[in-house]
Amino acid sequence: MLDNEEFMRDASPRELTQNPLRKIWMPCKNGHIAQRRVCMTNCPTLIVTVGLPARGKTYISKKLTRYLNWIGVPTKEFNVGQYRRECVKIYKSFEFFSPDNEEGLKIRRHCAMAALNDVRQYLSVEGGQVAVFDATNTTRERRETIVKFAEQNGFKVFFVESVCEDPDVIAQNIVQVKLGSPDYIHCNTEEAIEDFMKRIKCYESSYQPLDENLDRDLSFIKIMDVGRRYLVNRVDHMQSRIVYYLMNIHITPRSIYLCRHGESDLNIKGRIGGDSGLSARGKEFARSLRKYIQDQKIKDLKVWTSQMKRTIQTAECLGVPYEQWKSLNEIDAGVCEEMMYEEIQEHYPLEFALRDQDKYRYRYPKGESYEDLVQRLEPVIMELERQENILVICHQAVMRCLLAYFLDKTADELPYLKCPLHTVLKLTPLAYGCKVESIYLGVDAVNTHRDRPERI
C-alpha cells in the first residue's frame, strides 16, 4: 500500500497489471510492478504469556506460533527459560528462583531484557509480524515494563494467562514436559518433581494474576483450568483470531488419521484434478482401510471426506457414518484440470515454469494456489483441534496442507511433502509436537508425487 504522503504526491491512478505467479492485480509504473509486502496485522503484535510454571504456557506458545505461521503470519517464539539456560549453563536447584536470591533475580531480569531486544529486532528489522514472549510474567511490575517496551517500539500487546488449580493436570504437565528439561537431565524423577514443586512455590508468593478491573485497559485472554472457562478483554481483529484458536485447542489424548482416497481412474492416467471414481486397486484399498480401522478399535471415531466422488467412494466401504466437507476438496487446477503434467508443459510452458519457481504461491489460471488452499482449510484445522479421534479421507494437496500444520513445516516445504496413495498417516499430538506413524496397507498404486525441480 502507498503511504499517505506518497499518495498525495501522485494522486493519479496507476495502471494495473496481473502478477503472473499469483494472478493478483497490482499497480504498475513504467512497466514495473510495484512491490508490496502482504501484512495480516496492522502493526506488529507482541503476545505475552502469564502464569505459574507447569501451566502450559510453552505448549500454548508453540501451538500459537505454529498456527500463525501456517496461516501466513510470520511469527517467532522467544522462550526466556532458554535464554536463562544459555546464560547459566548448570542449573543447581529451585533456590535460583527464590524471591530472596538477588543474583538470581538480576540474571532473570537480564535474560528477559535480552529476549525483548531480540523481539525488537525480529518485529522492527526482520519483518516479523507477531512475537510470542514465553515467560512467567507473574508480577504487574514485569508486565508494565513489557507494555512500556511495546509502546516505545509501536507494538500491540496481547496477554495470554493460563490459570490452573487442578493438581492432576499440573502433575501430568510436570511429568510429560518438565522432567525432560535440560535442568533435570542429571536428576532422578523423584528429585526433579520435588525441586520443580519448590520452584512453583517461589513464584506463588509474588504472583499477581491479571485482574478484570485493575487490568481493564489491557488486551488479554485468561484461560482457566485448560479451557473450562475463559475471560476475554479488549481484543482487535488479529487478537480475536488468536482467541478463537485458543478456545478450540484441548489436551485430551487422541489420534488423527490422514489418508488420501483410493487410487482413481485419473490417477492411473497421470491426469491431475477431476472428479473420477476409484480404480479396481482403489476399491481394494478402501476394503483394506475398513479392515485396518476395525482392527484399531478406535473409540468414537469420526470420519470426514471431501465432496468429491473418490473420497466418498472410499468412505462408503467403511460402513460407518461420515461427514462431507467442501473445504476438503482437492486444489482447483483451473484450466489445467484433468491434464497431464507433460500436456501442461506443452500448452502452458510459462505457467509450468512459474509453478516450479514457487509452488506454494503459484495460482493456476482460474484455479487455486497452495496459499489459497491453506486459507480454505483454516476452518477444518479449527474443527480438527476441537475433535478427538478422527479419520480424514482427502486429497494429495489437502493432505500436504494439513500435515504441514501438524508437523510445523514451512511454506517452502509444504508442497513437496510425500503423501502416497494407499497409506495412512497416524498423528498423535504430543506436548510440544506430533508423533507420526506411516502405515502402508499393502495395495499397489501409482506414484503421484512430483519431486522438487533441481534447477529452476
**187 flagged as catalytic:** no
Query: Nearest 5 degrees, angle CA 115-CA 119-CA 124?
Result: 150
Of the candidates 77, 111, 161, 164, the residue annotated as catalytic is: 164
Q: Which residues contact 47 (CB under 8 A, 6 or more apart)?
A: 61, 64, 130, 131, 132, 133, 158, 159, 160, 242
**What CA–CA distance (Å, rounded) separates 303 from 286?**
13
Which of 161, 263, 330, 332 is catalytic? The answer is 330
First to last CA, the chain: 30
Of residues 77, 134, 368, 385, which has the active-site annotation? Answer: 134
Distance in angstroms (rounded) separating the CA atoms of residues 142 and 111? 13
Q: What is the CA radius of gyration of the chain?
A: 25
Cα distances (angstroms) measured from residue 281 to each of 261, 278, 286, 418: 11, 8, 9, 20
* Lateral strand order in the sheet of 156-163: 75-79, 130-134, 45-50, 156-163, 220-224, 229-233
432, 177 Cβ separation under 8 angstroms: yes
The DSSP-derived string for 440-456 is E-S--------PPPS--
Q: Residues 111, 202, 259, 261: which is the catalytic one? A: 261
Nearest C-alpha neighbor of 149 from the set 118, 126, 128: 118
330 is catalytic: yes
Per-residue exposure over 243-280, b if at least 16 CB sit within 10 Å of its own CB, e if not: bebbbebeeeebbbbbbbbbbbebbeeebbbbebbbbe
Helix or strand holding residue 333 (H, E): none
Rounded to whole angstroms, how far apart are CA atoms 131 and 118? 10
Q: Are 311 and 305 in contact (CB under 8 A)?
A: yes
- The three-class DSSP label of residue 95 is helix
Tell me the C-alpha distance between 444 and 22, whole Å: 36
Q: Measured between alpha carbons, how far is 34 from 28 in angstroms, rounded to an integer?
A: 6
- Give pairs for 100-105: CB < 8 Å, separation 24+: none
Catalytic residues: 134, 164, 261, 330
